[in-house]
Every structure is written in C-alpha cells, then in structure tokens.
Amino acid sequence: MTTGYRHFYRGRRVMVTGGLGFIGSNLARQLVELGADVLLVDSLLPDYGGNRFNIAPFEQQVRVDTTDVRNREAMNTLVQHQDVIFNLAGQVSHIDSMRDPYADLDINCLSHLTLLEACRHHNPSVKVVYAGTRQIYGRPDSLPVNESHLVRPTDVNGINKAAGEQYHLVYNNVFGIRACSLRLTNVFGPRQLIRHNRQGFIGWFIRLALEGRTIQIYGDGAQLRDFVHVDDAADAFLRAGADDRCNGEVYNVGGTAPISHRDLTSMLLDAAGSGRVEYIEWPQEKKAIDIGSFFADSSKFTSATGWSPRIALRDGLAATLGFYREHFAHYVDAATAQEQA
C-alpha cells in the first residue's frame, strides 16, 4: 500500500531536530497534516537556516523547544516517549566548515552523539532517521553514484556529516537504536535560507533571480546536478521513518533527471522573468575543490520504499519563486540585502 506509511504517523510522537530549518519545517508541515504529535527542536543558531516564520501557518499545532541538541540533560528528557526522531539539525555550509572546523565538528558530530546517547539511555526503542548528504561522496568516480561508491569528502563539513551518519549506523548495529540515513542530493523549495550564499547555490540563485541580479556561472556551466523538491525529500523521510526494513541502511535520495548549471539557470531565469546570467573563469581556489558532475542513483531507496521524486523541477521552481515573492521580507531583511548586494 503506497500510503500506509502516511497513516503510520497519526497520533505518533515525532521529534524533528532542526525543525525550524528548511527541510525540518517542510517535514513538520506534512506531519501536522498527518495528525502526528510534533515536537520541533531548533536552537536557531544565526546563519544556520532556522526561521520561526517557516512554521507560521501551523505553529499552534506543534511544540517548539529551542534547546541546543548538544545539551545532554535537555536531550535526555526530550527524547523520552518519542516514536520517531527525524534528525535534521546540522551545519550545512562547506565554506563555514573550512573557516571554523571546530564549530562544524561540534554541530555535526557532537550533537549527533548527544542525541544518540540520549536515545541509548532513555529511549532505546525509538526510530531515528538522519539527514545525510550526497556531499560525502566527493568527486564521483562514475555516474550515477550509488551507495557502494567510496565516501571521500572534499571538506570538513563532508567529513563530519559522514561521521554523523556512521554514528547512527553503529548505534543501530550495536545498541539496537533503529536508525537509517538518507543521503540527500541538492534540495530546493520554499523555506530555504537565502539570506547568504554559504549554504549551497540553488537558494542563492533563486534570490538573485528574484532581485533581478546577475548569476555568475564558472566555466561553461556544463556540470550536471540533480535536484529534489523539499516536499519529495520530506516524503522520503516519512517513508524511511515508518519502515523498519530501512534500519541500518544508507540510501541515496536523488532528484529528477540531471541538469546542467547552464540549463538550470536558464530555466530559473525563464520562470522568474528577471535576473541574468554571466559566465566567468573558474576562480583558482574553486576549481581546486570542484567535484565535476554529480547525480545520484536512488534505486535502492525506491526498491525499499516505493519513493520517487514527483515534483518536476520547472514546476517546483515556479512555486518556490512564488513563495519567496510573497514572503521575501521574512527571508531577506533590508540590512542583509544591502550588505550582500
């Protein structure tokens, strides 16, 4: 039954770490619709993506706790009686991780150990789904990339995200905390951070298009990427959380057909009706860490759960542009706009 996993959440106690962030808040919205008892944990660290406006339409239907996941005492209490934990808290900026690797280690390793230790000692029967990332693969040896590809991160953030994933698998295998990881490809959609350009390029490109500014593409823009809409990503979490066949596994959650930076940008500018594109030489330091083309093979996850991405890129972009047009001020404040312009 394809919708059984959605009924699973009725009346369930579900905690989402990073619940005020991009994916967390979109997942929370679906959980509320499905009748779950939702607790969102998010410390709203500046620049990380948490945003109270993300849950404005349903904030009366969830509980919010702004404790930091690294707070051991708090986590020991919060995990109790939860049925499912979607563990989405994290630092996602590659750039920030190279500027301050200590902070990245703290957020992307220590916080997951804290959560898992809390589960081990206070709620060992909970199910945990971790938000992994395709970034841990680094520069692919072949395409599409499946889960048997070597993990070879190109930055500190990727290393720590890989370690965070592996903690979940070890706690599954050794301590019986049911856990799995979804290695997400580039996710896009409403409620993504667009205040600065240090969290991946798709949100930033969307903002530049909306503001009528220039999108810079390095080289000829021929590199391929796959993109998944956040509603499809949230659906992947719901399926994994409801399915014990996923325990102890890692899954790619990839996007619709791969597309080049060049074609993506054309599609975006077309949908926005504003902005422009400029092709520039690769900056030396960017070229050094470029991974070339990447797109994921999600067939393992499709076989396990029936999931596949439903939302076409063009449709998703149009809807996303509409969302930000309507709520721009909640995502880009005037001071920041000037500073980054």
Residues at the site binding a copy of itself, with contacts judged by CB under 8 A: 98, 101-102, 105, 109-110, 113, 117, 148, 150-156, 159-160, 162-163, 166-167, 170, 173-174, 288-289
Burial 50-86 (b: 16+ CB within 10 A, else e): bbeebbeeebebbebbeebbbbeebbbebbeebbbbb
Least distance in angstroms from the C-beta of 85 to a copy of itself: 18
Nearest to a copy of itself of 3, 102 (CB atom): 102
Closest to a copy of itself by CB, 92 or 162 = 162
Closer to a copy of itself by Cβ: residue 162 or 193 = 162
Name the nearest CA neighbour of 316 among 190, 131, 186, 183. 190
Cβ closest to a copy of itself, residue 178 vs residue 191: 178
Q: How far is residue 237's CA from residue 152's CA, in Å, rounded to a whole number? A: 24
The side-by-side arrangement of strands in the sheet containing 127-133 is 63-65, 37-41, 13-17, 84-87, 127-133, 178-184, 250-253
Q: Closest approach of Cβ 152 to a copy of itself, in Å? A: 8
Residue 214: CB atoms within 10 A of its CB come to 12
Q: Is 188 helix (H, G, I), strand (E, B) or coil?
A: strand
- Alpha carbons 9 and 241: distance in angstroms, whole number: 9
Both tokens of 129, joined, read 């789904």
Q: Which is nearer to a copy of itself, 128 or 187 (CB)?
A: 128
Which two structure tokens, joined as six digits, stand for 202?
A: 């798709």
Please count the CA atoms within 13 angstroms of the CA of 131 that sit on its side-chain side. Answer: 26
Nearest distance from residue 209's CB to a copy of itself, in Å? 30
Coil, helix or strand at residue 250: strand
CB of 188 to a copy of itself, least distance (A): 26
Q: How far is the CB of 297 from a copy of itself (least distance, A)?
A: 16
Annotate 9-33 with DSSP letters as a single string: TTT-EEEEETTTSHHHHHHHHHHHH
CB of 17 to a copy of itself, least distance (A): 18
**Which amino acid belongs to residue 288?**
A
Comparing CB distances to a copy of itself, the nearer of 86 and 137 is: 137
Nearer CB in complex with a copy of itself: 45/109: 109
What minimum distance in Å lies between the beta carbon of 93 and a copy of itself?
Answer: 15
